[in-house]
């Protein structure tokens, strides 16, 4: 997993798109540890707070480009792959914005984030900024 992360850090996929995809996947999966981690990273990279806040509503929000919508749509479909089966029309829409290598890399980003979410949830990882119990 670490080797995949190092590889993905060096891809041509725009860092902001990667962060938004990671946040979306983590929100879909309900992984509070990863949501916290990637939101902090996005804010540290200068991603606008409203883009982070609206990522679950990427389809109706005006805060995303067509390329970003394609990436977020692919992330949504692959995270729900048992239901969506990654339809060809969506595949074609992503290919309109990403070449073959970038589409593979984007798919790896989504797959790795889903795997990290499952690991964090399975082992009850909690955000480091959690408030103490009262």
The per-residue pLDDT for range 17-60, each reduced to its tens digit, is 999 999 999 999 999 999 999 999 999 999 999 999 999 999 99
- Domain architecture of the chain: domains with CATH: 2-122 (1.20.1290.10)
Cα distance between residue 19 and residue 25, in whole Å = 10
Look at residue 81 and tell me whether its pLDDT is greater than 60: yes
> Given a cut of 70, is residue 129 above it in pLDDT?
no
Mean pLDDT for the stretch of residues 112-117: 97
pTM for the full predicted model = 0.93
User: d(Cα 96, Cα 86) in Å, to the nearest integer?
Assistant: 16
Q: Where are the alpha helices (DSSP H) in the chain?
A: 2-9, 15-29, 32-44, 49-53, 66-79, 81-84, 88-95, 100-122
Residues 27, 89: Cα–Cα separation, whole Å: 24
Q: What is the pLDDT of the chain when averaged over all its residues?
A: 94
């Amino acid at each position: 997993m670490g080797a995949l992360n190092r590889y993905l850090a060096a891809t041509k996929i725009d860092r902001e798109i990667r962060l938004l995809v990671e946040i979306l996947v983590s929100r879909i999966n309900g992984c509070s540890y990863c949501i916290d981690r990637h939101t902090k990273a996005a804010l540290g990279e200068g991603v606008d707070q409203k883009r982070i806040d609206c990522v679950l509503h990427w389809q109706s929000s005006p805060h995303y480009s067509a390329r970003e919508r394609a990436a977020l749509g692919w992330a949504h479909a692959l995270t729900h792959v048992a239901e969506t089966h990654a339809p060809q029309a969506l595949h074609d829409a992503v290919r309109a914005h990403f070449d073959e290598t970038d589409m593979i890399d984007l798919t790896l980003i989504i797959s790795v984030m889903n795997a990290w979410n499952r690991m964090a949830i399975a082992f009850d990882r909690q955000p480091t900024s959690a408030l103490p119990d009262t």
